[in-house]
Amino acid sequence: MSFRLVATHGQARAGVLETAHGPVETPVFMPVGTRASVRGILPSQLAEAGAQVLLANAYHLFLRPGDEVVRDLGGLHGFAGWDRPWLTDSGGFQVFSLSDLVKVSDEGVRFRSPIDGVHHFLRPEDAVRIQENLGADVAMAFDECVRLPAEAERVRGAVDRTIAWARRCRDAHRRDGQMLFGIVQGGTDPAERERCARPLLELDFPGYAVGGLSVGEDRDAMLATLAHTTAMLPEAKPRYFMGIGKPADLIDAIARGVDMFDCVIGTRNGRNATLFTSEGVVHMRNRQYQRDQGPLDPLCACPCCTGFTRAYLRHLYMSDEMLGPILGSLHNTWYLVGLVRRARQAIIEGTFPVGF
C-alpha cells in the first residue's frame, strides 16, 4: 500500500494510490454506496462508468445489517459484489447529523438508532473495529464534525476530541491491508486547522482528509480553508476532501491539491431530474424538453445519452417511472467520474485547468 505522484501542475496533482484491491488513479471521484449500494446502479455499470473505488458508510452498515454480518459474508468486496477498492467513512458525521438524543463525551458518542430506537455507544475503537469488519481498503478515523457556522468554543472542543480520538483510532487499528486516514477538522478558523493538523501529522497516517467543510459555510470560506489546510499536508500522501461533488467545486479543489472526493450529489440529483452536462445543468422536468429528440449530452457516451432522447427522459420523470432516476443517476455518475478523470489527464499534459 503506497501513494506516488506521477505529475503536478501548479498545486494540482496526478498520482496513484496502491491498495490491497488494485491501484486507484488520482484525482478520483468516488461514487457513494452508503449502505454498500450506489442507488439504482449495478456494480458492472459503475465499472463501465470508470469508477475505481466506492464509498460505504460504517454508521449505516453497523446499524443494518451489522458489520459482523458483512464480515462473515466476505466483507464489502464479497457482500456487495464490488471487488475493486472500497473506502468507508467512520460514521462520525452521521452520528451527529442523523441520530436523536446524541450525547458526546470525551470517551465517545451515545446515540439512538433512527431505525429502531435502540441506544448505542460508539467509541473511536468501535469505529475502527466496525471498519475492520467491513474490510475496506481505506478506513477513516472517528472524528467530531461541526456544522457551520459554529461558535469558536464549539469548534475548539471538536478539534480537541478529533485529535484525541485520532490517537485512539491509530492505536486500535490492526487490520493488515487496510489504510487508516486521519481527518483534519477546525471549521474555517486557520489556527484551529493548524492545531488539529500538527498532532495528526505526528501520528503519520497513510493519508489525510479535510473534514468539516461544505457543511454550511460560504464557498469562498470553504476554498480559502481548503487551500490553507492542504498546504499543511504531506505532499507524499493522498489528500481527501470529504463530501464535495459539484463540478465547479471539484475542479477548484483539484487546483488546490486534493486527490480524492466523494459526494451523494450525483445520484441524489439524478433521482430528482437535475443532471450535469457539458452544456451546464439540465432540469429534466422543464417543458422545453417535451419534444426534444436530442441526447441529454452529445459529448457523453453513457447508456442514457447514447440510448435515449431528452423527450423520453423527461417523460420518465414526469410519469414517475423508475427508469428515469436510474438513467439520470447513471449519467451523473459517468459525468463526475469522467470530469475528474479528464482533469487528471490535463494535469499530466500540463494544460489544467484550461477547458474546465
Q: Is the pLDDT of residue 99 over 70?
A: no
Classify each residue of 21-60 as buried b or exposed e, where b means 16 or more C-beta atoms within 10 Å of its C-beta.
beebbbbbbbbbbbebbbbbbebebbeebebbbbbbbbbb
User: Cα-flanking dihedrals φ and ψ of residue 131, to 5°?
Assistant: -70, -30
User: Cα-flanking dihedrals φ and ψ of residue 212, to 5°?
Assistant: 70, 25
Give the whole-angstrom CA distance, residue 175 versus residue 102.
29
Rounded to the nearest 5 degrees, what angle is found at the Cα of 93, between the Cα atoms of 201 and 100? 145
What pTM was estimated for this model as a whole? 0.96
CATH assignment, 2-263: 3.20.20.105
SS3 113: coil
Residue 94: which pLDDT band, with cuts at 50, 70 and 90?
confident
Lowest mean pLDDT among 23-37, 84-98, 136-150: 84-98
When the pLDDT of each residue in the chain is averaged and rounded to a whole number, the result is 96
Three-class HEC string of 273-301: CEEEECCEEEECCCHHHCCCCCCCCCCCC
Give the whole-angstrom CA distance, residue 322 versus residue 51.
23
Residues of the chain with CATH 3.20.20.105: 2-263
Could you report the per-residue pLDDT of 295-335, keeping only the tens digit for each?
999 999 999 999 999 999 999 999 999 999 999 999 999 99
Report the pLDDT averaged over residues 1-13.
96
SS3 137: coil
Distances in whole angstroms, Cα of residue 112 to Cα of each of 63, 101, 123, 264: 10, 6, 14, 24
State which amino acid sits at residue 244. I
Could you report the per-residue pLDDT of 105-127, keeping only the tens digit for each?
999 999 988 889 999 999 999 99
Could you report the per-residue pLDDT of 233-278, keeping only the tens digit for each?
999 999 999 999 999 999 999 999 999 999 999 999 999 999 999 9
Could you report the per-residue pLDDT of 144-160, keeping only the tens digit for each?
988 889 999 999 999 99
Which residues are part of the catalytic machinery?
89, 262
Q: Is the pLDDT of residue 1 over 90?
A: no
